[in-house]
Amino acid sequence: MNATTSYQAIIASPIGPLGIVIEDGALYRINFLSDETTLQATDDEPTAQVVAQLQHYFKQADWHFSLPLQPVGTAFQQKVWQQLQQIPLGEVRTYGEIAWTLGSGPRAVGNACRNNPLPLVVPCHRVVAANGPGGFAGQTQGRNLSIKGWLLAHEGVTL
């Protein structure tokens, strides 16, 4: 999504502003936004529920999301995202482990993770490389990797 994306809300979080997109009453996308982004409140109920549940997660890592989701992706991406939702809080899986489960390759799993439209709710941050943290949101260093580290630490994971 780009600068012209229409968000139903933009909220502050410990990892920076998050843009929330709802379509047909379901969570469609969560975007990490720059620190300079202006926050935007919401007055519609589906978005308010997403905001409340994200705030609960940031206060209490063992919060279980209960939201209608509408992630758009290929059939393979959908399979990967379903696998991500099976990773328990406080645990990680490697790209290779997920690939083995799906009869695929680690790189394909990494690409599906990179294209996850619902980070946090579909916990792609719980997928790591065999020899370290791997990447996050398409980056292997910088802000996105710091976000991944924060999320894993918040959930009690040390690498």
Mean pLDDT by 10 residues, the chain (159 residues): 75 97 96 96 94 97 94 97 96 97 97 97 96 89 93 94
What is the model's pLDDT at position 2?
46
CA 65 to chain centre: 12
Active-site entry in 109, 113, 120, 124: 124
What is the predicted pLDDT for the residue at 137? 87
Question: Residue 60 has what pLDDT?
Answer: 95
The residue ranges of every structural domain in the chain are 9-59, 75-154
Beta bridge partners of 40: 10
User: How many CA atoms, within 13 angstroms, populate the side-chain half-sphere of residue 84?
Assistant: 26
Q: Which fold has domain 75-154?
A: Arc Repressor Mutant, subunit A (1.10.10)
Strands 127-128 and 93-94: parallel
Q: Hey, what's the torsion of the CAs at 7, 11, 151, 103, to 10 degrees?
A: -10
124 is catalytic: yes
Whether the model pTM is above 0.85: yes
| Residue 159 pLDDT | 80
Close Cβ partners of 24 (under 8 Å, ≥ 6 residues apart) = 70
Q: What is the pLDDT, as a whole number, of residue 4?
A: 54
